[in-house]
Amino acid sequence: MGKKIDCSKVNPASGCGHVVRGKDVEEVLKKAAAHAEDHGMKPTQELLDKVKSFIENE
Ligand SMILES: [Zn+2]
C-alpha cells in the first residue's frame, strides 16, 4: 500500500491541489520536502513532523 499527503491539508492557505505520493513514509517525506521548496518553504523538522501527521494510506 502506498502513502500520500495532500499539500492543501498541510498548508491550507497555499490553495495548492498537489498530492505527494510515495511507496512508503520515507519516500513521501522526501518528495514533500522537495515540494515545500517549490513553495519557497524550508523543509524544517517542524514542517516534516507536520507533514508526517497528515500522511494517509491509499
Ligand atoms: Zn503545494
C-alpha cell at 9: 491539508
**What is the predicted pLDDT for the residue at 27?**
97
Do 49 and 5 meet the contact criterion of CB atoms below 8 Å apart?
Answer: no
Q: For residue 45, how far is its CA from the centre of ligand 1 (angstroms)?
A: 18
**What is the predicted pLDDT for the residue at 5?**
97
The residue assigned the cell 523543509 is: 43
Nearest to 21 by CA among 34, 47, 1, 3: 3
6-46: pLDDT as tens digits: 999 998 998 999 999 999 999 999 999 999 999 999 999 99
**Sign of the alpha-carbon dihedral angle for 8, 12, 14, 15:** positive
Q: For residue 52, how far is its CA from the centre of ligand 1 (angstroms)?
A: 15
For the chain, the structural domain boundaries read: 3-57
44-57: pLDDT as tens digits: 999 999 999 999 99
Q: For residue 1, how far is its CA from the centre of ligand 1 (angstroms)?
A: 23
Supply the Cα-derived Rg of the chain in whole angstroms.
Answer: 10
Q: For residue 49, how far is its CA from the centre of ligand 1 (angstroms)?
A: 16
Per-residue pLDDT for 1 more than 90? Answer: no
Q: For residue 44, how far is its CA from the centre of ligand 1 (angstroms)?
A: 16
